[in-house]
């Protein structure tokens, strides 16, 4: 709880000094981004309809829950083909979202219009509200298959 108190005064005499002060208390809850998950951890890129022989979904839904309205940024990092499995930033998506449960349809295309290449990705989600408060980052891994 945060409490702000105010007191006013002036040069003129005040017959009722009981109304010269005021205070307000506000319950502050931290911004939280929870429930970050993907409908499919492994999916095909693009929007083509699945062939009868392919049983892997095209695209996925990235789901999350916000405690307050905020701008959610999803940063995609591709796993490099090195023995130590380092991740290299590939791009990001940012969306404004309301409080509550939300889902973002994702088919491998970033905000700048670039498409991700097939491979393993680590997705880091963070939320930032209009007051500048930032949520704890949440991560998940995805495997993007060729179209």
CATH, range 31-145: 2.60.40.4070
Could you give the 3-state DSSP secondary structure of residue 80? Answer: coil
Q: What is the pLDDT of residues 24-51, one digit of tens each?
A: 988 777 889 999 999 888 888 765 555 5
DSSP letter string, 16-57: -GGGSEEEEEE------EEEEEES-SEEESSSPPPPTT--S-
Query: What's the confidence (pLDDT) of residue 48?
Result: 56
Q: Would you list the domain boundaries of the chain?
A: 31-145
Query: What's the confidence (pLDDT) of residue 92?
Result: 94
Q: What is the pLDDT of residues 82-115, one digit of tens each?
A: 767 789 999 999 999 999 999 988 888 888 888 8
Strands 33-38 and 119-128: unpaired
Query: What's the confidence (pLDDT) of residue 44?
Result: 81
Where do we find the tokens 């959610």? 72
Q: What is the pLDDT of residues 4-29, one digit of tens each?
A: 898 888 888 888 888 888 889 887 77
């Amino acid at each position: 709880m945060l409490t702000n108190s105010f007191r006013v005064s002036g040069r003129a005499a005040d017959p009722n000094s009981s109304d010269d002060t005021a205070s307000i208390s506000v319950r502050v809850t931290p911004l939280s981004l929870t429930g970050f998950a993907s409908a499919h951890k492994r999916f095909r890129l693009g929007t083509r309809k699945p062939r009868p022989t392919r049983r892997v979904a095209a695209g996925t839904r990235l789901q999350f829950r916000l405690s307050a309205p905020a701008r959610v940024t999803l940063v995609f990092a591709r796993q490099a083909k090195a023995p130590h499995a380092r991740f290299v930033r590939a791009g990001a998506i940012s969306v404004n979202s309301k409080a509550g449960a939300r889902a973002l349809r994702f088919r491998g295309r970033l905000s700048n219009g670039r498409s991700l290449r097939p491979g393993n990705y680590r997705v880091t989600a963070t939320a930032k509200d209009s007051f500048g408060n930032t949520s704890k980052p949440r991560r998940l891994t995805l495997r993007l298959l060729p179209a």
